[in-house]
Amino acid sequence: MNKTTKSLLLGVISVKIVVILLVTSIPVNGNTLVPNDSELVKNTTTLINVSTEHKVDSVLALMTIDEKIGQLVQYSGKWNATGPSTSKRDQYKHDKLKKGEVGSMLNIASVASIRETQRIVMENSRLKIPLIFAYDVIHGYKTIFPIPLGESASWDLGIIEKSAAIAAKEAAASGLNWTFAPMIDVSRDARWGRIMEGSGEDTYLTTKIGVARINGFQGNDLSAAHTIAACAKHFVGYGFAEGGRDYNTVNIGEFELHNTILPPFKAASEVGVATFMNAFNDIDGIPATGHKYLQRDLLKKDWNWPGLMVSDWGSIGEMIAHGYARDLEHASEIAINAGSDMDMESYAYEASLKTLVEKGKVSTAILDDAVRRVLRLKFQLGLFDDPYKYCDEEREKADVYSKENLEIARDVAKKSIVLLKNDNQILPLSKKIKSIAVIGPLADDKDTPLGNWRARADYNSAVSLLEGVKHAVSKSTAIYYEKGIELTIPIVKPGENQFARPLEFNTTDSSGIEKAVELAKKVEVVLLAIGEDAYQTGEGRSQVDIGFKGLQLELLEAIQKVNKNIVIVLMNGRPMDLSRASEVAPTILECWHLGSESGNAIADVIFGDYNPSGKLPVSFPHHVGQEPLYYNQKNTGRPYGSTQVTYSSYRDAPRSALYPFGHGLSYTTFSYDNFKLSTTEINASEHIEVSVNVTNAGKRNGEEVVQLYIRDLVGSLVRPIKELKGFKKLMIKAGETKTVTFKINAETLQFYTANKKWEVEPGAFEVWVGGSSLAELKQSFSVVE
């Protein structure tokens, strides 16, 4: 416990309480009078430290009801190093900080600003309980990594963990303690703007990646100087917003909820994620923020998770607009009883919890449980030992945006690129190529690659495609550039808030196309950078049209009339409708919004220094009307495949994806054979070894993501036609064959059955291995009683 807290406690609290505090928790002369720190209680999920629990209880025993409620309040403060401004709202927050009636602040960053804000609490409040500082560190802090959807395309859990660790290191060096990431909402609708923030459509992949990110942010010690608390969000269902419209209602059946949406959250709780965030949406009529079954009964009781649940921004108050709460007091009553511990920016708890406790509508036990969760995290972060422990300007200078971090960002970025098509093997280009035209509204854009939710990235700080190409080629290559068109009018201004306003697209000014066409005529290859502005995805950025906005297709078509060697360098945050572009361009390189090192990473792939290895974490449709589109659909009673019309498909578009889940090409080719199962019959406690030989049949070394899918043919509930159940990414040298093995066991085969239990149902199964969800090598096996 920090010295100031301790001495203040000694000064103001009755001797009796202080004695209890000392006896139960404070180390005396280096000895602890309570069970020592190594005595751990294994909570199915996280390790709870007995000593910490005593400290939490001791602090709780000192608190007034106002101080307790204060710990459940989180404010946003966008002020700088000098502290709150003179605005009325900031002054109000300032007063609350002084009284010790704020538990956490979000949106304050930099050591100087955080130190100043912490100082207000430490020098003025009675108990001197340090604040926790939170920020949306979603894909990097100042060194920006690919947007999460893009990074997920790497299927490389090691580098995903590393990028989260670097983000944590930079954030912690800037004074922060807590990120609101990862978003582990399974999301299957390309219209939904926040699809960019997750890991795509698949539950298994989202689970694995979510765990990697949590491990990266938190390391194995929250109190370490370079780690921060992670936040599994949004609990729950947010990714299933009807029609892909942000904040919209979610209608999902109980079984689908358990089988598809909850598993990443269960895994997050099991690896000890420190916090959860609930969600804006309602699920079948109950707002997630007020959902008692999900938060209190399932997460906190059944899963036995001891962490902190923060509301989403204003989501407690929004239960009034939902039509679920009469007023703020009612909203507070519902939220806290449901298990929503901390109120982010609803001003609901501070206004009404005291009255609710007095009226008996909220028990002291419920209030105390929420406060305990906040205090526990503060102890775990080491803030009671030193409230300024993350405030070190020297570290901030050394650790943020370092050369080493940028190198890692480049590595992650190149591994996130997906080669969607490469007809005629235009790629890779030789570095000695005579001439290249880099064309398009995003070709020399140094800002769009940073994507949305870019934390503290500097405006225009990414390496543009043009710059990356220039860095890569030999002196003998002539590089030309034409923008061709503007994508938006006007482009989001430096420093403008991501929520500022909708974008406007340029649909009229085509005056630059002619110059671009003239340029295209004289070069060997055109690199055409088109796609989406950084702010076309992210919160509140849903779209009904997921094609190319503005005049981008016009530019593409005009160029392809004069030069067929077009490589589309696609920069985007969602699966787009690429149907027309795919007809026109022989090569498409999916480059997402790749972050700070975007242009260098793309050049690494374009010139073959890196052989692309990314695979889509989400299906790309032929048409937006197919959305939500995902590979692991159910068969229906009238499965697709028949030529008769009365089958489940569309009359004017295919039902399948244009580019399916798991798809991604390489500069080499991989062939699969010798697919074997160790046995074709097991009971639920046994397992099957699956093996397959994968050969690099081309001339370049390359990495392949070997994927394993299963189907449970008959179940107490209808099961998907294919489900990803394993993957391995491995380097295979040219001409080399590697044997890849997987294990199929109860964990692979179980699901949340009609009995409302996770269990394996005996019966017949199919299993596939391959390089995408279209994997064709198939075997069968059965599970017997």
Comparison of 213 and 233: residue with beta carbon closer to ligand BGC: 233
Residue from the set 155, 178, 180, 276 that interacts with ligand BGC by CB under 6 A: 180
Comparison of 180 and 592: residue with beta carbon closer to ligand BGC: 180
Which token pair is 46? 């996280």
Residue nearest to ligand BGC (CB): 180
DSSP calls for 221-274: -TTSTT--B-EEEEETTGGG-GGG-TT--B---HHHIIIIISHHHHHHHHTT-S
Nearest Cα neighbor of 440 from 620, 681, 280, 602 is 602
Residues 508-537 that bind ligand BGC (CB under 6 A): none
Comparison of 106 and 250: residue with beta carbon closer to ligand BGC: 106
Instruction: Give the shortest CB-98-to-ligand BGC separation in angstroms.
Output: 24
Comparison of 193 and 575: residue with beta carbon closer to ligand BGC: 193
Binding-site residue total for ligand BGC (CB under 6 A)? 7
Residues 100-139 that bind ligand BGC (CB under 6 A): 106, 136
From CA 95, how far away is CA 528, in angstroms rounded? 54
From CA 68, how far away is CA 374, in angstroms rounded? 10
Residues 296-335 that bind ligand BGC (CB under 6 A): 312-313
Comparison of 242 and 514: residue with beta carbon closer to ligand BGC: 242
Instruction: Give the shortest CB-568-to-ligand BGC separation in angstroms.
Output: 31
Comparison of 141 and 180: residue with beta carbon closer to ligand BGC: 180
Instruction: Give the shortest CB-245-to-ligand BGC separation in angstroms.
Output: 14
Binding mask 18-37 for ligand BGC (x = CB under 6 A): --------------------
- The residues, ordered by sequence, that sit 6+ positions from 41 with a Cβ below 8 Å of its Cβ are 47, 48, 49, 50, 53
Instruction: Give the shortest CB-375-to-ligand BGC separation in angstroms.
Output: 22
Angle, CA of 601, 423 and 553, to the nearest 5°: 75
Q: At which residue do the structure tokens 């390089």 appear?
A: 771
Comparison of 116 and 539: residue with beta carbon closer to ligand BGC: 539
Instruction: Give the shortest CB-534-to-ligand BGC separation in angstroms.
Output: 17
**What letter would DSSP give residue 299?**
I
Instruction: Give the shortest CB-409-to-ligand BGC separation in angstroms.
Output: 22
Task: Give me the catalytic one of 312, 533, 577, 604.
Answer: 312
Instruction: Give the shortest CB-607-to-ligand BGC separation in angstroms.
Output: 38
Instruction: Give the shortest CB-106-to-ligand BGC separation in angstroms.
Output: 6
341: contact with ligand BGC by CB under 6 A = no
Q: At which residue do the structure tokens 């306003």 appear?
A: 501
246: contact with ligand BGC by CB under 6 A = no
Residue 261: left if φ>0, alpha if ψ -120 to 50, beta else—which one?
alpha
Residues 661-700 that bind ligand BGC (CB under 6 A): none
**What letter would DSSP give residue 722?**
-
Angle, CA of 188, 760 and 300, to the nearest 5°: 65
Q: Which residues pair with 770 in a beta bridge?
A: 707
Comparison of 233 and 454: residue with beta carbon closer to ligand BGC: 233
Tally of CB atoms within 10 A around 369:
16
Q: Nearest 5°: phi and psi at 781?
A: -155, 170
Residues 48-107 that bind ligand BGC (CB under 6 A): 106
Instruction: Give the shortest CB-233-to-ligand BGC separation in angstroms.
Output: 6
Residue 401: left if φ>0, alpha if ψ -120 to 50, beta else—which one?
left
CB 752 within 8 A of CB 714: no
Binding mask 135-174 for ligand BGC (x = CB under 6 A): -x--------------------------------------
- The residues, ordered by sequence, that sit 6+ positions from 140 with a Cβ below 8 Å of its Cβ are 163, 166, 167, 170, 409, 454, 455, 457, 595, 596
Query: What is the signed CA dihedral for 546, 552, 557, 558, rounded to 10 degrees?
Result: 170
Which token pair is 35? 């069970």
CB 154 within 8 A of CB 595: no
CB 462 within 8 A of CB 596: yes
Do the bridges between strand 104-106 and strand 73-76 make them parallel or antiparallel, or are there none, so unpaired? Answer: parallel
Nearest Cα neighbor of 155 from 574, 744, 728, 771 is 728
Residue from the set 233, 415, 454, 593 that interacts with ligand BGC by CB under 6 A: 233
Sign of the alpha-carbon torsion through 424, 425, 426, 430: negative
From CA 149, how far away is CA 615, in angstroms rounded? 11
Comparison of 347 and 480: residue with beta carbon closer to ligand BGC: 347
Do the bridges between strand 308-310 and strand 275-278 make them parallel or antiparallel, or are there none, so unpaired? Answer: parallel
H/E element holding 554? helix 552-560
H/E element holding 408? helix 403-416
539: contact with ligand BGC by CB under 6 A = yes
Give catalytic status of residue 312 as yes or no.
Answer: yes
Instruction: Give the shortest CB-593-to-ligand BGC separation in angstroms.
Output: 17
Comparison of 573 and 664: residue with beta carbon closer to ligand BGC: 573
Instruction: Give the shortest CB-539-to-ligand BGC separation in angstroms.
Output: 5
Comparison of 136 and 156: residue with beta carbon closer to ligand BGC: 136
Nearest Cα neighbor of 309 from 321, 298, 320, 322 is 298
CB 173 within 8 A of CB 396: yes
Residues 376-435 that bind ligand BGC (CB under 6 A): none
What amino acid positions are annotated as catalytic residues? 312
**Interface positions with ligand BGC (CB under 6 A):** 106, 136, 180, 233, 312-313, 539
